[in-house]
């Protein structure tokens, strides 16, 4: 939303008190918090105009007490009109300041304790922080009996009564899933309690897995129990960093999928249908919109809410993880890096690589982090979509994506993009994430189409890495035609935004990764130098208009599943035709010592009828400015005939 909560004051109302781990820790995470009101099972606390710094210090004091309540708050630190009253009060006289802070009707002078709690929940604050126990918000159409938390029936509010901008769910089950969706449809920002609380679960997993890792050291007498505990304590900050990185990555994943679901809801609809068919989810209990609702949202460009996307994110990871564990990919040496990254560096050093690889949950850890790495960037629908389009298994798609990610240097680019958050508007940073994801999807499809599924990731990466490095380093010298103009335009855009030239070149060159892989393959098959092959490849691309034709295909696919599958198949055909012609031209050049232009002209003369037909169709499409999918398909067929004639 563009607000830095470590630098700018923001208003909060909440559920809990400073003695509670969740509420208390949350209310100490920024010195800019202006806590207007909160309640627990004993008191209602209202501070209409708190000073961020002095109120932070007072909350810190309460948090440090063995057992504190809102009654222990130093009254001298409260603002004018503040109130601390028992939750069970039959009647509370409201101050004018409290009424303004909570957005209560000026004509209302008194409320009972339960009505006051409802006023706190529905106050016009920037953040509602749920750090307590109980379900406090339901959908208007739900009954209290359906919620199943009778003790809080008198204080529960409907989602459409909320006036906060953001909900943070530190406690579990504070909202029903239907309430989350209703609130999100009204413009509120909310995830699910499972996603907001994922760091706590992750921390527990790390603790257990670390104890499994160092256990043999204790059993073998290399460490005493006390030394083990000291070692675990030394890892605290690094484990915090690892866990929070995962938590941030998941939240980013939902934000990216919000945009994707608006632009390509059909992909998510197909995913939901697949999950429902396989009995992975149940629409009603999981809060998934009906088919009719999805059609309405597609028509209106609304997309899915964050709470629904959180559910799909979880199921996408769980189903992919189950498939991956049945494959050999977690056993590949290349994926061992995910095991190393999972543990703090001090743990890896203390135990050594051999014990790390002997961890009894090694395959599960690798699988979990590989799947999360993929899904958090590529989105919930990616694996299903590509597996469906290619006719390959999910495990094959993960295999291809992993290789694509390594060849792209995606980890380093993602780390660079993380550093840009806060420096550039999030919409701009999201656009770069989407660009990276699109390149990785195109490269994943290239791998599935061009590399044998029996090839090991290490061998494929080794085979392509050197050639790609040379081409990237000299890309500006070899790119030609429309791709050269695109490269120059994008570079200029990033320079104007203030992006470092080195990062800008990496981001833009990455866009052409599938074409560079094609070039490396052609060079290897023809026995020619990669850089010289690239020059020839792009000269041929300029003549054939293949870059324009592929973009026309992408633009014409729309959101219909079969149209997308046809479009992707046709793009693969363009690549095959381009590669076949390049191979012939390079062979001519090698045998006769002629120039690329001379050999290309000779090729066209040899295939005169097919070439004339193709260039005539291409010219018609260019003059029209846009191309329908059938029109572009006709051009692709003509190009294939020219390549195979």
Per the CB < 8 A criterion, the answer to whether 324 and 398 are in contact is: yes
In percent, the amount of the chain with pLDDT more than 90 equals: 67
Task: State residue 10 phi and psi, 5-degree precision.
Answer: -145, 150
The model's confidence at residue 521, banded by pLDDT at 50, 70 and 90, is confident
Separation of alpha carbons 611 and 634, rounded Å? 14
Among 257-271, 374-388, 583-597, the least confident range: 583-597
Q: What is the pLDDT of residues 544-568, one digit of tens each?
A: 998 899 889 988 988 787 888 899 8
State which of 160-164, 233-237, 406-410, 500-504 shows the largest mean pLDDT: 160-164
Q: DSSP letters along 276-323, please?
A: HHTTS--TTTTTPPPHHHHHHHHHHT----HHHHHHHHHHHHHHHHHH
Q: What is the mean pLDDT of residues 28-40?
A: 97
Separation of alpha carbons 108 and 4, rounded Å? 35
In percent, the amount of the chain with pLDDT more than 70 equals: 100
Q: What is the mean pLDDT of residues 116-124?
A: 97
Strand-pair partners of 92: 111
Separation of alpha carbons 44 and 81, rounded Å? 14
The model's confidence at residue 55, banded by pLDDT at 50, 70 and 90, is very high
The model's confidence at residue 471, banded by pLDDT at 50, 70 and 90, is confident
Q: What is the mean pLDDT of residues 477-489?
A: 81
pTM passes above 0.85: yes
Per the CB < 8 A criterion, the answer to whether 258 and 306 are in contact is: yes
Separation of alpha carbons 264 and 558, rounded Å? 8
Separation of alpha carbons 517 and 482, rounded Å? 18
Q: What is the pLDDT of residues 305-356, one digit of tens each?
A: 999 999 999 999 999 999 999 999 999 999 999 999 999 998 888 888 888 9
Separation of alpha carbons 404 and 378, rounded Å? 12
Q: What is the pLDDT of residues 241-291, one digit of tens each?
A: 999 999 999 999 999 999 999 999 999 999 999 999 999 998 887 888 888
- N-term to C-term CA, the chain: 56
Listed in sequence order, the residues at least 6 apart from 124 whose beta carbon sits closer than 8 Å to its beta carbon are 102, 103, 163, 164
Alpha-helix runs per DSSP H in 545-627: 546-556, 561-592, 596-606, 608-624
Listed in sequence order, the residues at least 6 apart from 557 whose beta carbon sits closer than 8 Å to its beta carbon are 563, 564, 566, 567, 568, 629
Q: What is the mean pLDDT of residues 189-200?
A: 93
Q: What is the mean pLDDT of residues 618-645?
A: 90
Q: Which domains are assigned to the chain?
A: 10-190 (3.40.50), 195-372+384-392 (no CATH)
Q: Does the pLDDT at position 645 exceed 80?
A: no
Name the DSSP class of 95.
P
């Amino acid at each position: 939303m563009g607000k830095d909560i470590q630098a700018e004051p923001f208003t909060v109302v909440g559920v809990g008190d400073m003695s509670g781990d969740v509420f208390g820790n949350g209310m100490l995470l920024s010195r800019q918090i202006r806590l207007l009101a909160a309640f627990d099972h004993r008191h209602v606390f209202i501070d209409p105009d708190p000073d961020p710094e002095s109120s932070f210090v007072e909350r810190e004091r309460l948090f440090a007490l063995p057992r504190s309540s809102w009654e222990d708050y130093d009254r001298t630190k409260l603002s004018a009109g503040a109130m601390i009253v028992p939750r069970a009060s039959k009647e509370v006289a409201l101050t004018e300041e409290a009424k303004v802070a909570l957005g209560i009707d000026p004509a209302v002078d008194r409320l009972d304790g339960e009505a006051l709690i409802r006023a706190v929940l529905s106050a016009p604050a920037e953040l509602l922080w749920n750090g307590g126990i109980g379900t406090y918000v339901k959908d208007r159409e739900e009954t209290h009996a359906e919620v199943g938390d009778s003790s809080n029936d008198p204080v529960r509010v409907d989602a459409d009564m909320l006036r906060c901008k953001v909900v943070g769910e530190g406690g579990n089950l504070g909202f029903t899933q239907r309430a989350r969706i209703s609130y999100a449809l009204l413009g509120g920002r909310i995830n699910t309690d499972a996603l907001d609380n994922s760091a706590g679960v992750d921390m527990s997993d790390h603790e257990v897995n670390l104890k499994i890792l160092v256990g043999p050291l204790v059993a073998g007498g290399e460490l005493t129990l006390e030394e083990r505990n000291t070692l675990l304590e030394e890892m605290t900050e690094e484990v915090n960093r690892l866990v929070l990185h995962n938590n941030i990555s998941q939240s980013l994943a939902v934000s990216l999928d919000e945009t994707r679901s608006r632009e390509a809801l059909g992909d998510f609809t197909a995913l939901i249908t697949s999950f429902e068919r396989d009995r992975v989810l149940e629409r009603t209990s999981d809060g998934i919109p009906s088919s009719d609702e999805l059609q309405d949202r597609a028509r209106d460009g609304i997309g899915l809410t964050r709470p629904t996307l959180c559910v799909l994110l979880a199921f996408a990871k769980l189903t992919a993880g189950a498939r991956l564990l049945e494959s050999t990919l977690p056993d590949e040496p290349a994926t061992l890096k995910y095991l190393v990254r999972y543990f703090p560096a001090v743990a890896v050093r203390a135990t050594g690589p051999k014990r790390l690889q002997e961890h009894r949950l090694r395959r599960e850890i690798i699988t979990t982090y590989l799947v999360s790495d993929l899904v958090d960037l590529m989105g919930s629908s990616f694996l299903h979509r590509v597996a469906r389009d290619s006719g390959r298994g999910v495990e094959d798609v993960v295999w291809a994506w992993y290789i694509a990610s390594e060849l792209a240097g995606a980890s380093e680019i993602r780390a660079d993009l993380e550093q840009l958050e806060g420096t550039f508007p999030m919409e701009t940073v999201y656009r770069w994430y989407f660009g990276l994801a699109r390149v990785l999807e195109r490269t994943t499809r290239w791998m599935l189409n061009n590399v044998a599924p029996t090839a090991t990731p290490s061998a494929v990466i080794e085979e392509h890495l050197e050639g790609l490095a040379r081409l990237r380093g000299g890309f500006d010298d070899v790119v030609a035609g429309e791709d050269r103009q695109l490269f120059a335009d994008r570079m200029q855009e990033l320079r104007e935004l203030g992006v470092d030239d080195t990062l800008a070149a990496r981001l833009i060159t990455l866009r052409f990764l599938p074409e560079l892989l094609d070039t490396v393959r052609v060079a290897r098959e023809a026995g020619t130098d990669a850089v010289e092959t690239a020059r020839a490849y792009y000269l041929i691309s300029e003549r054939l208009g293949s870059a324009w034709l592929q973009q026309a295909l992408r633009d014409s696919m729309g959101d219909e599943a079969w149209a997308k599958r046809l479009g992707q198949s046709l793009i693969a055909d363009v690549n095959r035709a381009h590669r076949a012609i390049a191979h012939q031209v390079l062979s001519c050049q090698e045998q006769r010592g002629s120039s690329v232009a001379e050999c290309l002209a000779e090729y066209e003369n040899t295939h005169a009828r097919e070439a004339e037909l193709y260039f005539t169709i291409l010219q018609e499409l260019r003059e029209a400015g846009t191309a329908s999918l059938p029109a572009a398909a006709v051009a692709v067929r003509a190009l294939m005939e020219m390549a195979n004639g």
